[in-house]
Amino acid sequence: MDDSEPKSAGRIEPASDLLEIAAHSAVSNLLDVAAQLAGLAEDLKALSSRPIEPRPTLAEPDDQPESGFSGII
């Protein structure tokens, strides 16, 4: 048996076809990433147009426990 012949019954792609498939896959992946980045850029643009508002705290300064209470029971 000649070792240069394929051992599997499946179709073997020539190297040039495999390179073309890999190139198409890479281009497709890059286009997907570019689309995601464009979407993120739009989201950031929308967020940047909004003013930053302070978040309310859970306890206002008037609601603090008395100074004798350490909070540990």
C-alpha to C-alpha distance for 26 and 43, rounded to whole angstroms: 26
pTM strictly above 0.75: no
C-alpha to C-alpha distance for 65 and 73, rounded to whole angstroms: 14
Apex 48 CA angle, 47 and 49, nearest 5 = 90
Residue type, 30: L
CB 26 within 8 A of CB 32: no
C-alpha to C-alpha distance for 7 and 1, rounded to whole angstroms: 10
pLDDT tens for 10-61 read 777 788 899 999 999 999 999 999 999 999 999 999 999 988 888 887 765 5
φ/ψ of 70, rounded to 5, equals -90, -15
